Structure formats: structure tokens, C-alpha cells
């Protein structure tokens, strides 16, 4: 408590100095008039360059958000690989400075601006997808392809949010970029917003990643609400063994089919299946290893840091951002509910021995692998002997494919209207 | 939020978009339900051409649980390998080699000795 009071007092003092002296430090100038002018004017210049002279409450608010993200990641282990780079990025992006010296992310020629180029031009998301492809095992999906439909059903969150954003007055392009938050897929959200609504990218990316980190909080109540206890205990048939030929054919056929349907999503889907082929072919282990470890780690650092830094208070704290956050939460809920309801609907048509546990429908929102992990935990709560993780991975990875296809479809519909 | 003011094109994109996603993944489901059948048909055909009428490798189609049990056993086996020690005692004799840097002789002073 003492520490908190001390920190608060220090902040108040710093703000009071700024309020009394102002950013041009006119009070100091008055004092210095007629005295040793040069030294004083240098000091004033120095003061004007410091963050203390330029700080605003909005900057402090955003720094608080950044610290909260870091706290969530370290204390509760919520997506630490994403929240720590994003949290630090928010801190970096909100340190006040005088514009015009190539410091900030939005200033042309600054280091952060160069790194941000990968985000604005949609370079990082396909590289992340390459890594995801190289680390994903699609065998659960190949052994039970019917579960792929759950990944498609959960994409209703994207289109419902698109509708909601349109109703709130966003342009169709902006609504499309906001809608993709419902796909619960950070790289896809960044990719689509960079193409359709670059001005909203910071808010969309932060909303997408924040809600992805909060999947363990958002999903369980909806799962318990929609799926009755009796159905939560359904034990699914064990998965069949998948041959190597099937594993090699999957990325090839998947790539060709999905990119023929939605060529706009070619960078995402192409890279995802290419990464998977590197893994499954068995002859490019070195490349697969690089893609799923070193490369994805580097890109995650750059992406997280620059997306975080893009939340400069003067650009980020707007009414639109607040609307986006509201719509994002709604889209996650709709997507989860869509997956769960579709799973229950599928059970109506399936034979008794092939029934699926409707809980796995919630994993259709992609958010790999967090939502599958949530399904496993909820399944164990209903029946401690029922392990759903491998079954949930099927809709989970098909959710990634589904959200990329949805992004491609939205791009096809909306890109020509720009 | 007023859905009455949403234009017809937005409604079209919403409904059509979701249906296309659903149909494209439905198409993928169909393909991937078909592939194992095609592979099995190919295997049977090649066996038939070799003169075999039925597949004798039934033991290869083992269930997921059996696979998991085998994998666990292998994991435990390989993890316990390090417990088998060589039984060689590894304490080695330490040789104190002479060096002028640690020589006792150089460290002695003769201050208190009368000459």
C-alpha cells in the first residue's frame, strides 16, 4: 500500500510540474530572464525533450494497460508469448516524445516504423502461419474430417460481428476488418485489417490478442450454458491411426482446394499448408524446425512489439476503439456459441456410437491451442476420465483454415469496393 | 446498433460469406472422407495384382489406446535408461603439481630471523 501511495504521489508531482511549467516551460523562462540565459535555455530545452514535459493522462492510461498485460502474462500465464511483447510494445508506444525526430512508430524513417512495415504490408502474418503449419499435427482432423464443420460453424462470429459493426456505422471495409476478430486468430486479423482498414489495425490486433488470451475466461460460462451436463460427459470414439500418405496429401489437397475457393487468402493458406508439408514430408526436417522454432519466435517478437507500439494514445484512444473492443467480446461469444450449437445439431444426425461431445464445438474458434485446452479442462470437470484434447484439436485447426477462408472471402467481397 | 439501417449488400455478404465458408469446408470433409477409401482401394488393387486376395497385415490397424500405451512404455523406457549407471567410481586422484605460483617457499618471509 505504501509503495502504491509513493508511486501515486510521484506521478502527481510529475504532472504538477508539467501543469505549472507547461510544455514550453514559460515559468522557467521568466525566472531565467536576465540571469545566466544560455544554461537555463539549455535546461529548458532538455526539459521540453523529456517525456515528463509531454506526458498526458491518456499516455499514462495506456502505459497502465501495457503493465496490466504484462501482469496477466506473468501472474496468470495468459498467452505470455504474445502479451509480454504486446505489453512492452504498448509501453514503448506511449512514452511521450516530441514529434519530428524519427522516434515514434508512425514517423517515417524511425526504427519502429521500419519494423512496423511488416505489419502494415501484411508480411508477418503469413510467416506466422508458416510456423503454425510446421508445428500443427492435422492427424486428428484427417482421422475424423466431419469435425472440420465445427471450425466452419464457429466462423459465424466473424459474419455476425461484420453485421454488428455495419449496424454501428462502420464502413463495409472497416466492418469486415472488425468482424475477423471473431475468427480468434491474431495473424489473420492483422492481415485482413492491413488490407481493409489500416487505420483500425492497432485496435483490432489488440482486441483480437486480448480476447485470445482471455479464452479461458470467456468460453467456460458459455459452454456450461449451452451444453447440458449429460452431453458434456459423452465419450468419443478413439481416433484411428493416420497413414503418412494421408498426412502428406492433406496439405497439398487442402492448399489447392482452399486457395482455389478464396485466392485472396493465398498468402495465409499457402504458407500454412506449406509449413505443414515441410513437417509431414519427412525430408525437410531442418526447414520445418526453423519455421516452427527460430522463425516463428522472431516474427512473434517483431509482430507483438510493433502491434503493441501502434497503440499510441493519440491514435488509439478513440470512440471507435471502444466500439471495436465491445464488438470483439461479442464476436468471441457468438463464435463459441455457434460452434457449440452446431455440435449439438450434428449429434442429432449422428449414430449413437459416433456421437461427438458438443464441448469440442467451442474449439472451432481457432485460438490454437488455448480453446482446445479449455475444452479438455471442461470435459475433465464433467467426467475426470474423459480426455477431449485430441478430439478438440480437429475443430481447433479447422478453425484456423476456416478463419483464413473467411478472410479471403471478405477480401474478395470488399477489396474491389475500396 | 440498428440493423434496419444495414443495407442489403451487407446482409448478402454476411449470409453468403458464412455459407461459402461452410460449403468450402464441407467440400474438404467430402474429399478427406473419400481419400482413405481411395487409398484402401489402391492397396487392395495392388495386392490383388500380386496374387494376394486379402490383407494379412491386420495387426497394423491398432487402436489409438494401444498406440498411446506403446508410446508411454517407450517414453518411460527411454527416460529410465540414464538410471543404469556404469558402476565406475569416478573419483579421481588429484595431482598437486608444483608451480612457482603456489610454492610455499616463495610465500615465506624471513623478517623475524636475525641474520
List pLDDT tens digits, range A84-100.
Answer: 999 999 999 888 887 77
pLDDT of residue A2: 65
Contact A403, A180 (CB under 8 A): yes
C-alpha cell at A88: 512492452
pLDDT of residue A99: 78
- Average pLDDT for chain B: 77
Residue B32 to residue A145, Cβ atoms within 8 A: yes
pLDDT of residue A32: 47
Mean pLDDT within A314-328: 85
Cis before A369? omega within 30: yes
* Chain B: residue whose CA lies nearest to A406: B21
**Residue A27 pLDDT exceeds 60:** no
Name the residue facing A167 among B2, B26, B39 (closest C-beta): B2
- Average pLDDT for chain A: 85
Between B51 and B75, residue with greater pLDDT: B75
pLDDT of residue A222: 92
Q: How many whole angstroms from its chain centre is CA A256?
A: 27
Which whole-number Å values give the CA distances from A68 to A73, A316, A367, in the listed order?
A: 9, 17, 21
What ipTM goes with this model?
0.77
Residue B24 to residue A261, Cβ atoms within 8 A: yes
Residue A152 to residue B61, Cβ atoms within 8 A: no
Name the residue facing B3 among A142, A167, A240 (closest C-beta): A167
Expressed in angstroms, the distance from the first to the final Cα of chain A is: 53
Distance from C-alpha of A263 to C-alpha of A121, rounded to nearest angstrom: 17
pLDDT of residue B114: 64
Q: Domain residues of chain A, as ranges?
A: 118-417
pLDDT band, residue A345 (cuts 50/70/90)? very high
The verdict on A146 touching B (C-beta cutoff 8 Å) is yes
CB under 8 A, 24+ apart: contacts of A341-349: A341/A153, A341/A226, A342/A149, A342/A150, A342/A153, A342/A154, A343/A150, A343/A153, A344/A226, A344/A227, A344/A231, A346/A146, A346/A149, A346/A150, A347/A231
Question: How do residues B52-62 score in pLDDT, each as one tens digit?
Answer: 766 555 555 66
**Nearest 10 degrees: Cα torsion A406, A140, B32, A153:** -30
C-alpha cell at A96: 511521450
pLDDT band, residue A199 (cuts 50/70/90)? confident
pLDDT band, residue A26 (cuts 50/70/90)? very low
Question: How do residues A139-153 score in pLDDT, each as one tens digit?
Answer: 888 888 888 898 888
**Residue A37 pLDDT exceeds 70:** no
Between A301 and A243, residue with greater pLDDT: A301
pLDDT of residue A9: 67
- Taking contacts as CB-CB distances below 8 angstroms, the residues of chain B near A159 are 13-15, 17-18
| Count of C-beta atoms within a 10 Å radius of residue A45 | 10
pLDDT band, residue B2 (cuts 50/70/90)? low
Mean pLDDT within B92-105: 72
pLDDT band, residue A369 (cuts 50/70/90)? confident
Question: How do residues B11-42 score in pLDDT, each as one tens digit?
Answer: 888 888 889 988 988 888 898 889 888 888 88
| Count of C-beta atoms within a 10 Å radius of residue A231 | 18
Amino acid at each position: 500500500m505504501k509503495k502504491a501511495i509513493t508511486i501515486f504521489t510521484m506521478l502527481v508531482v510529475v504532472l504538477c510540474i508539467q501543469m505549472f511549467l507547461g510544455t514550453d516551460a514559460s515559468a522557467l523562462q521568466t525566472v531565467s530572464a536576465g540571469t545566466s540565459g544560455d544554461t537555463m535555455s539549455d535546461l529548458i530545452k532538455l526539459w521540453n525533450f523529456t517525456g515528463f514535459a509531454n506526458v498526458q493522462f491518456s499516455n499514462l492510461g495506456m502505459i497502465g494497460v501495457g503493465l496490466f498485460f504484462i501482469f496477466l502474462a506473468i501472474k496468470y500465464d495468459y498467452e505470455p508469448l504474445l502479451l509480454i511483447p504486446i505489453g512492452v510494445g504498448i509501453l514503448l508506444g506511449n512514452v511521450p516524445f516530441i514529434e519530428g525526430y524519427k522516434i515514434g512508430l508512425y514517423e517515417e524513417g524511425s526504427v519502429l516504423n521500419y519494423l512496423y512495415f511488416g505489419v502494415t504490408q501484411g508480411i508477418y502474418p503469413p510467416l506466422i502461419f508458416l510456423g503454425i503449419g510446421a508445428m500443427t499435427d492435422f492427424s486428428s482432423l484427417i482421422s475424423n474430417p466431419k469435425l472440420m464443420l465445427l471450425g466452419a460453424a464457429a466462423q459465424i462470429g466473424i459474419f455476425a460481428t461484420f453485421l454488428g459493426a455495419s449496424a454501428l456505422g462502420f464502413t463495409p471495409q472497416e466492418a469486415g476488418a472488425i468482424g475477423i476478430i471473431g475468427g480468434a486468430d491474431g495473424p489473420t486479423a492483422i492481415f485482413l485489417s492491413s488490407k481493409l482498414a489500416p487505420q483500425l489495425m492497432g485496435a483490432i490486433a489488440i482486441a483480437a490478442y486480448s480476447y485470445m488470451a482471455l479464452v479461458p475466461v470467456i468460453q467456460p460460462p458459455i459452454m456450461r450454458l449451452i451444453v447440458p451436463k449429460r452431453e458434456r460427459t459423452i465419450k468419443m470414439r478413439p481416433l484411428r491411426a493416420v497413414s503418412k500418405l494421408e498426412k502428406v496429401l492433406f496439405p497439398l489437397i487442402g492448399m489447392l482446394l482452399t486457395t482455389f475457393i478464396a485466392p485472396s487468402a493465398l498468402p495465409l493458406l499457402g504458407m500454412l499448408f506449406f509449413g505443414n508439408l515441410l513437417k509431414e514430408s519427412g525430408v525437410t526436417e531442418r526447414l520445418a524446425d526453423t519455421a516452427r522454432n527460430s522463425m516463428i519466435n522472431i516474427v512473434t517478437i517483431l509482430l507483438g512489439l510493433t502491434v503493441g507500439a501502434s497503440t499510441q494514445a493519440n491514435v488509439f484512444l478513440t470512440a471507435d476503439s471502444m466500439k471495436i473492443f465491445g464488438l470483439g467480446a461479442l464476436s468471441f461469444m457468438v463464435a463459441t456459441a455457434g460452434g457449440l450449437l452446431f455440435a449439438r445439431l450434428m449429434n442429432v444426425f449422428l449414430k449413437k456410437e459416433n456421437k461427438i461431445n458438443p464441448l469440442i464445438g467451442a474449439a472451432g474458434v481457432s485460438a490454437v491451442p488455448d480453446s482446445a485446452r479449455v475444452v479438455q479442462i471442461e470435459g475433465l470437470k464433467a467426467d475426470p476420465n474423459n480426455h477431449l484434447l485430441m478430439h478438440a484439436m480437429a475443430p481447433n485447426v479447422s478453425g484456423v483454415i476456416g478463419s483464413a477462408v473467411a478472410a479471403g472471402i471478405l477480401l474478395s467481397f470488399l477489396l474491389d469496393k475500396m | 446498433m440498428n440493423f434496419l439501417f444495414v443495407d442489403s449488400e451487407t446482409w448478402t455478404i454476411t449470409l453468403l460469406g458464412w455459407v461459402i465458408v461452410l460449403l468450402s469446408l464441407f467440400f474438404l470433409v467430402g474429399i478427406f472422407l473419400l481419400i482413405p477409401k481411395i487409398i484402401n482401394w489402391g492397396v487392395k488393387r495392388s495386392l490383388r495384382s500380386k496374387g494376394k486376395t486379402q490383407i494379412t497385415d491386420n495387426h497394423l490397424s491398432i487402436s489409438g489406446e494401444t498406440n498411446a500405451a506403446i508410446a508411454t512404455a517407450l517414453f518411460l523406457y527411454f527416460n529410465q535408461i540414464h538410471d543404469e549407471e556404469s558402476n565406475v567410481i569416478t573419483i579421481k586422484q588429484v595431482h598437486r603439481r608444483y608451480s612457482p605460483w603456489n610454492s610455499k617457499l616463495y610465500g615465506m618471509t624471513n623478517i623475524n630471523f636475525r641474520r
